[in-house]
Chains A and B, each alone.
Chain A
Amino acid sequence: MMMSKNLFIQVAMIAISIGIIITFVNPTFSEIGEQQDDILVYQTEQQKVSGVNNQLSSLITSLNNVASDDYRRLLTYMPDEVDTIAVARDLSLVSRQAGVLYISAVSRGVVTNANSPDNASSQDFIQPKEHMFSLNVEGTYDTVKNLFALLEQNNYPIEVQNVNVQKKGGGLLSVEIGLSVYAYENSPADQEIVF
C-alpha cells in the first residue's frame, strides 16, 4: 500500500514536471527567442538611424563650410524663382553690350511637362523649372556671334533652344532666338519622414 502511494507521488511529480515544461518553460523559451530577435532588429535599426544621423551631421558640417560667396553664386545660377522682367532686362543689356539691335525679349511662360509622370520615370532626379523666352535682335554676323558668346557667359544659364536667322539687306541678319532660363524645382517627395 505504501509502495503504491509512493509510486503515485512519483508519477504525479513527473506529470507535473512535464506539464510545467509544456505549459511554461517551452513557451517562455520561444518568447525569449522572439524577444532576442526583436532586440537584434532594434539594435540594427538603431545602428542604421545612428549612421544616418552621423552622416547628416557630417553633411551639415560640409554645408556650413560652403563659402557664402559660392552659395550666393549657386542661388544666382539656380534661383528659387525666375523674375521674367529681370531676365528681359538682362537680355536687353546683353544685346546692347554685344552690339546688336535689340528688338524685343518676351517671356513665353513655363514649360510644365518637364517633370510629368511620363518623364519622371525615365529621369534620375527632378528637373529644374524651365522658363521660355524669345529674343529678337538684328545685327551683323559678328555681333550676333558676340551675342551668343555673351549669353553663354551669363551668371545664370540662358540656354539657346532654337535660332532662326534670316538675311536682311545691308549685311544685317534678323535673328529670333528661343531661350530657356531655369529655376530650382523642389522635390514633391520632400515630405516629413515618419519612422
Chain B
Amino acid sequence: MKGSSDNSFIPKRGASKRKQTGGSRQIYIFTYISYILMFATLLSSGGVYLYQQYINNQLDIAVEALNSEIGSFSQADMERVTQFNLRLAQAQDRLENSMSVTAVFEALQAATIDTVQINSLAMEREDDDRIVIEAMIQTDSFDSTIFQRGVFLRNGIIQDVEITDVKDSVAIETGERAQESNARPIVSFQASLAVPLEQIPADPQSYQLNQPDVIVPNTEIPEQPPELLIEQEVPAQEVNEDTL
C-alpha cells in the first residue's frame, strides 16, 4: 500500500543523488591559482637569475672602469703640481708679508720734531703682525716731549705710542777753551711705538720701475762716503745672478 506521501506532487530527493557542484568549482579556482603561482614563481626565478647575471656584469664593468681610471692617475704629476703650488704659496705668503724698513724710517722722520734727537733705536718684528720700535730719545724740554708725544699720536702710521722713563738732566758742553762751558737742559725718554705691517708694505714693483738693475750684485768697489773710507779687503768675486 502506497502511503500518502507517494501521491504528493512534491518530488522526493534522494540523499545519494545530490551533486556537489559548488565544491568542484572551488577546487578549480584553487588549481588555477596554484598553477599561476607556480609558473609565476618559475618565471620570476629565471628572470631574477638572468637579471642578477646582468647586474654582475654591470658591476664588473663599473669596477673595471674605476680601476682603469685609478690606473691612469699619475702620482708623479700630482706631486709635481702640489710641490709647485706649495712653493708658490710659500713665496706669495712671504711676498704678502714683506715690509719696508725704509718706510719705517720715513714714518719716523715725518713724526720726529726738530728739537728731538734719537740716540738709539731698536726694532723688532713680531711675526707677520707689526714692528715694535723702542727708541731712546732726547730733547730740550718737557714741552718738546709733550709735543713729540702728540706728533707720534697723530701720526697715521705709528700706533700704540708709549712714552716712559722721562728724565731731565743737564748736559755740560765744553767749548774750545776749557773755561767756556755751556750747560743746557736735557729731557730724555723712551718711546715705544708699534707699526702694523700693512702700513709699511714693501712694493717690489715700484723698485723695479725706479731701479731695475740694482738687485744684481756688483763686484766693483762702491763709492764710500768720506767718513767711511776705511781700509778694507774687497775680495774679487764673480757676478752671479742666481745667488742661491
* Residues from 142 to 182 in A contacting B, C-beta threshold 8 Å: 143, 145, 148-157, 159-167, 170-172, 182
Stretch at the interface among B66-74, B148-156, B164-172: B66-74
The complex places the Cα of A7 from the Cα of B26 at a distance, in Å, of: 11
Residues of A contacting B81 in the complex (Cβ-Cβ under 8 angstroms): 56, 59-60, 63
Residues of B contacting A151 in the complex (Cβ-Cβ under 8 angstroms): 101
Q: Does B38 contact A (CB under 8 A)?
A: yes
Picked from B79, B222, B227, B242, the residue with its CB within 8 Å of the CB of A170 is B227
Q: Does A113 contact B (CB under 8 A)?
A: no
Q: Are A14 and B34 in contact (CB under 8 A)?
A: yes
* Residues from 32 to 65 in A contacting B, C-beta threshold 8 Å: 32, 35-36, 38-39, 42-43, 45-46, 49-50, 52-53, 56-57, 59-60, 63
The complex places the Cα of A114 from the Cα of B188 at a distance, in Å, of: 39
Which chain A residue shows the least CB distance to B202? Answer: A152
Which chain A residue shows the least CB distance to B51? Answer: A32
Picked from B42, B45, B52, B125, the residue with its CB within 8 Å of the CB of A162 is B125
Picked from B73, B228, B232, B234, the residue with its CB within 8 Å of the CB of A53 is B73
Interface string of B69-85 (1 = CB under 8 A from A): 11011110111111110
Residues of A contacting B16 in the complex (Cβ-Cβ under 8 angstroms): none
Q: Are B41 and A17 in contact (CB under 8 A)?
A: yes
Taking the closest CB of chain A, its distance from the CB of B56, in whole angstroms, is 7
Picked from A53, A126, A157, the residue with its CB within 8 Å of the CB of B86 is A126
Stretch at the interface among B5-13, B91-99, B177-185: B91-99
- Chief secondary structure at chain A's binding surface: helix
Q: Are A96 and B51 in contact (CB under 8 A)?
A: no
Q: Are B243 and A87 in contact (CB under 8 A)?
A: yes
The complex places the Cα of A138 from the Cα of B55 at a distance, in Å, of: 83
Q: Does B115 contact A (CB under 8 A)?
A: no
Residue of B52, B83, B123, B219 contacting most chain A CB atoms (<10 Å) = B123
Picked from A28, A56, A78, A155, the residue with its CB within 8 Å of the CB of B87 is A78
The complex places the Cα of A76 from the Cα of B94 at a distance, in Å, of: 13
Q: Are B48 and A29 in contact (CB under 8 A)?
A: yes
Which chain A residue shows the least CB distance to B37? Answer: A17
Which chain B residue shows the least CB distance to A100? Answer: B228
Residues of A contacting B27 in the complex (Cβ-Cβ under 8 angstroms): 3, 6-7
Q: Are B73 and A10 in contact (CB under 8 A)?
A: no
Chain A contributes a number of interface residues (CB within 8 A of B) equal to: 97
Q: Are A101 and B87 in contact (CB under 8 A)?
A: no
Q: Are B35 and A13 in contact (CB under 8 A)?
A: yes
Q: Are A153 and B86 in contact (CB under 8 A)?
A: no
Q: Are B234 and A125 in contact (CB under 8 A)?
A: no
Residues of A contacting B40 in the complex (Cβ-Cβ under 8 angstroms): 17
Interface string of A91-102 (1 = CB under 8 A from B): 001101111111
The complex places the Cα of A125 from the Cα of B219 at a distance, in Å, of: 39
Interface string of A79-98 (1 = CB under 8 A from B): 10111001101100110111
Chosen A-B contacts, 9 in total, with CB atoms closer than 8 Å, are A17-B38, A32-B52, A49-B69, A76-B244, A89-B217, A126-B90, A128-B93, A128-B94, A185-B90
Known: A63-B81, A162-B125. 8 other contacts (CB 8 A): A16-B41, A77-B95, A96-B234, A97-B214, A102-B232, A150-B214, A161-B125, A162-B123
B residues with CB within 8 A of A: 27, 30-31, 33-35, 37-38, 40-42, 44-45, 48-49, 51-52, 55-56, 58-59, 62-63, 65-66, 69-70, 72-75, 77-84, 86-91, 93-95, 98-102, 105, 119-125, 202, 204, 207, 211, 214-215, 217-219, 221-225, 227-228, 230, 232, 234, 237, 240-244
A residues with CB within 8 A of B: 3, 6-7, 10-11, 13-14, 16-17, 20-21, 24-25, 28-29, 31-32, 35-36, 38-39, 42-43, 45-46, 49-50, 52-53, 56-57, 59-60, 63, 72, 74, 76-79, 81-83, 86-87, 89-90, 93-94, 96-102, 125-128, 138-140, 143, 145, 148-157, 159-167, 170-172, 182-187, 190, 192-193, 195
